Structure 1
Amino acid sequence: MMLHNLFAYGTLQLPEITERVMGRALQGEPATLTGYRVGLVARANFPGIVPEATASVPGMLISGITQQELVKLDQYEGELYRRVRVQVLLDQMSCGAQPVATKCWAYLIAYWAQDRVTAKPWTLDWYRQQGIKGRLTYRN
């Protein structure tokens, strides 16, 4: 069985969200996606990432995702996002090593909706405080 890696930069960083979407809580390791920026999607409580050469997006690399779970994630993310292959840097700095690059899937805002990603920053802390109420109602 082929397993996949996913770069999560938004709500999928929360184990309670992955548990509701995929039926199991997933946790990852810190990673960074360079060449993109994260912002709050207009009229929403969730983030999107769009290309920006000098920016970077913090997140988590989640490993061990099955093909069936990817399908569930595609449904959760909806048409506003597209799943693409990206390269992220794993944060190895805590042990003094250089960052390690690895390929994985990530959900980027679809081309037609990139103008909906605002300049307002989106953080996991903000979501926990403000935005989580509407998103946790998702049921698989």
Structure 2
Amino acid sequence: MHLLFSYGTLQQDKVQLDTFGRLLKGQKETLLGYTLGQVKITDEAVIKSSGKEYHPILISTGDVNDQVEGSAFLLTSEELKHADNYEVDDYRRVEATLASGKQCWIYAAAE
């Protein structure tokens, strides 16, 4: 299983059902060293699922005083691939450590 930290649209029920075919049960977590920006989404399928043209995006600052609140979800390898397909090219999946010390995957700005 893979732990995925979500701070945006992957927390929405409709997005979870469209992406994973089920509702996810997550735990509240905090990610340090990041802030949130906004990215314009042009993929119509993603906009239809989320209902939003602008999505939040993690921007690395390296400053532990910067924090982003979200939820951590346990996903299978297949579900993680579905999450990769949902996220547009502006995002890249990278490993991170949560404030709790747990290792997880995050989707952060690709630049």
Q: What CA distance in whole angstroms lies between the structure 2 residues aligned with 1:50 and 1:32? A: 14
Task: Return 5+ residue gaps in structure 1 as ranges.
Answer: 90-99, 112-140
Answer with 1 or 2: which has the greater Rg: 1
Tell me the equivalent position of 1:25. 23
1:55 aligns with 2:62: no
Give matches, 1:32-111, under 5 Å. Answer: 32-42=30-40, 44-52=53-61, 53=63, 54-63=65-74, 65-89=75-99, 100-111=100-111
Identity of aligned residues (%): 36
Q: Scaled by the length of structure 1, what TM-score is found?
A: 0.65
Aligned length: 98
Consecutive aligned runs of 4 or more in structure 1 exceeding 4 Å deviation: none
Q: What CA distance in whole angstroms lies between the structure 2 residues aligned with 1:102 and 1:36? A: 16
Structure scoring higher RCO (CA < 8 A, sep ≥ 6) equals 2
| Cα-Cα RMSD | 1.4
Judging by fraction of residues, say which structure has more strand. Answer: 2
Q: What CA distance in whole angstroms lies between the structure 1 residues aligned with 2:84 and 2:18? A: 14
Q: What CA distance in whole angstroms lies between the structure 1 residues aligned with 2:37 and 2:90? A: 14
| Aligned partner of residue 24 in structure 1, secondary structure | coil
Q: 2:10 aligns with which of 9, 12, 15?
A: 12
Q: What CA distance in whole angstroms lies between the structure 2 residues aligned with 1:42 and 1:17? A: 17
Task: Return 5+ residue gaps in structure 2 as ranges.
Answer: 42-52
| Aligned partner of residue 101 in structure 1, secondary structure | coil
One-letter code aligned to 2:60:
P
8 Å Cα contact 2:7-2:71 kept in structure 1:
yes
Q: Scaled by the length of structure 2, what TM-score is found?
A: 0.81
